[in-house]
Structure 1
């Protein structure tokens, strides 16, 4: 018995376009790469200086984006959980008392569009495997996925969450293996 296709021809063409994307490093100006091995993270965010905040059941850390230098590390899980808001949308950074927005598997959603036209999203052309797509929207005759880059996620696997920093200078992707960050020249 033949299976009836429920997707439209437009949807099938879009799926084919998504499946034809090759995974690679992001285009210029996204030239700085930082990989942070951190198994078990469930939320992340940015402090006021746009350092990376990673939160897991074994504590939290703060890392500088371009150098990858760890600035803080707290290993007390109970203390870390006490710093998370009841709705899992904010984290009170103990060292500075900053209340930062967080996103992730047990948190909110990241920033997916910069003021100057960069967009990031997670798609599933090979479901259940996630693909992160970076695209520049401010082009003449823009077409979805026409010039998009599927980012090579390296050691990240499973569910993926992503978002830009508030300034749009950094892009973070988090997954089961930790976090992958790309930064651009200012």
Structure 2
């Protein structure tokens, strides 16, 4: 009588997990994509990078006079308010509290002092992942715990088509923990926040 034996399990992929051929293909695709500049109409803010030690979350508001997007960053060291076009910090409150309430909001500061700003980050919530014009943004982690932020244009997708032709790897969080990413409600700004900094892009008119 023929004796049946169990076939050996496939060798585990890097990190100890077993990936399907499709998942392995996607992992290789994302690992091979270098960080590149965001495409038109996106450009970095004039000062695109702002260090914010101990950052826990961010949220958007509109300047009551100019209508320009503003980004509020919440950290263990207080709150800061940034102009998303210039990247300049225009207000700071060293005594700001953590988000509270069901909407995870904080009291605004500077030009937003009369508003409450919903905050996305360590305590929950999220920013917009789509914007007018068919833009979208998502995160993949082929070498977790490092995160990659991918921006896609109308009809583009990180799951098909070549990198740089419909989708772009615009940010790689390899040194700090990702806290939040996404567009402003107006769709004119894009922010990526980690535990140590904020990176800003703005959209040309």
- TM bucket, shorter chain: 0.7 to 0.9
Matched, 1:136 2:144: no
Quick check: 2:181–2:192 contact (8 Å CA) kept in 1? yes
Q: What TM-score results when the alignment is normalised by the length of structure 1? A: 0.85
Once the two structures are TM-superposed, the CA of residue 154 in structure 1 deviates from its matched residue by 8.0
Relative to 1, partners in 2 of residues 1:143 and 1:174: Cα closer, same or farther, differing over 3 Å? closer
Q: 1:35 aligns with which of 49, 59, 65?
A: 49
Relative to 1, partners in 2 of residues 1:159 and 1:74: Cα closer, same or farther, differing over 3 Å? same
Q: Which residue of 1 aligns with 2:29?
A: 17
Measured on the aligned residues, the alpha-carbon RMSD in Å equals 2.4
Quick check: 1:156–1:179 contact (8 Å CA) kept in 2? no
What secondary structure sits across from 2:62 in the alignment? Answer: coil
Matched, 1:81 2:80: no
Matched, 1:109 2:126: yes
What secondary structure sits across from 2:97 in the alignment? Answer: helix
Unaligned runs of 5+ in 2: 1-7, 64-68
Give runs of ≥4 in structure 1 deviating > 6 Å: none
Larger radius of gyration: 2
Q: Which residue of 2 aligns with 1:100?
A: 117
Unaligned runs of 5+ in 1: none
Quick check: 1:63–1:69 contact (8 Å CA) kept in 2? yes
Q: What TM-score results when the alignment is normalised by the length of structure 2? A: 0.78
What does residue range 168-179 of structure 1 map to in structure 2 within 5 Å? 168-179=187-198
What secondary structure sits across from 2:130 in the alignment? Answer: coil
Quick check: 1:93–1:99 contact (8 Å CA) kept in 2? yes
Aligned-partner Cα distance in 2 for 1:27–1:160: 24
